[in-house]
Amino acid sequence: MWKIAKYIIFDIIKSKVLIAYTALLALISVSIFMMDTDVTKGLVSISTVVMIIVPLVSVVFATTYIFNASEFTELLVSQPISRKDILLGKYVGIGASILGAFILGVCVPVSLFAFSVTALVLMLVGCLLSLSFVSLAFLAATMTSDKAKGIGLSLMIWFYCAIIFDGLVLLFLFSFNDYPLEKAMIILTSLNPVDLGRVMILLQLDISALMGYTGALYQKFFGSGYGMLFATVFQMVWITVPLLLALRIFKRKDL
């Protein structure tokens, strides 16, 4: 498994796409801090990048790489190597590469310009989102053998998590606003890794009051140590469950 991961890491770091992704994140992060002396505003702006660009690139890049390396996967399957080691090796290699790009592009500039508890939460959320969307990419890629369908499914997953889900939550709130929705909102939030990350960051920035009643609810629950632990655990669930489902499908898949 580790030899496969090592090979994939050395292969990916040569990719111009990953280099451009790292450079883009670094350029955006440094530019934001250079243009505005207010560290809080800078972190808010970078959090937008973390919520939108990082999941998109993670899921699309991982899915594309998996399909492009299909011949290499078939070669590995023909060898006396378990499919579990093959898939986990590929996950470690791709995940570590994308995570490394995020650390160099965002974590390093944020640490240099605005190191704080809020910055640490921002970096943690970005790392967890990167890995969770790589897991979702593996699930999408193993569910179909067609590259176009796989990439399309990955984009739909990102579109749902980043945009559609919030619209569905708003529709739910308007439809059942006469009922107590405290526990329901917490459960709904846990069903989307992007929303979990957004709440964790916003509460650290002390602007939850701008979110009204919902913000007060989030502040009460997620603002506590228990709430942050709850959000972190569910982010880990979003990393683990799609990967386990992908592993189950890959073991039975006819290549």
pLDDT of 145: 82
Under a CB-based contact definition with an 8 Å cutoff, are residues 98 and 62 in contact? yes
- For the chain, 255 residues long, the average pLDDT of each consecutive 10-residue run is 80 84 89 78 82 90 88 80 86 91 89 83 89 92 86 90 81 72 74 83 62 54 69 88 90 73
HEC string of the chain equals CHHHHHHHHHHHCCCHHHHHHHHHHHHHHHHHHHHCCCHHHHHHHHHHHHHHHHHHHHHHHHHHHHHHCHHHHHHHHCCCCCHHHHHHHHHHHHHHHHHHHHHHHHHHHHHHHHCCHHHHHHHHHHHHHHHHHHHHHHHHHHHCCCHHHHHHHHHHHHHHHHHHHHHHHHHHHHHCCCCCCHHHHHHHHHCCHHHHHHHHHHHHCCCHHHHHHHHHHHHHHCCCHHHHHHHHHHHHHHHHHHHHHHHHHHHHCCC
pLDDT of 190: 80
What are 74-89's pLDDT values in tens digits?
A: 787 788 788 888 888 8
List the chain domain ranges: 2-252
pLDDT of 38: 72
pLDDT of 212: 45
pLDDT of 213: 46
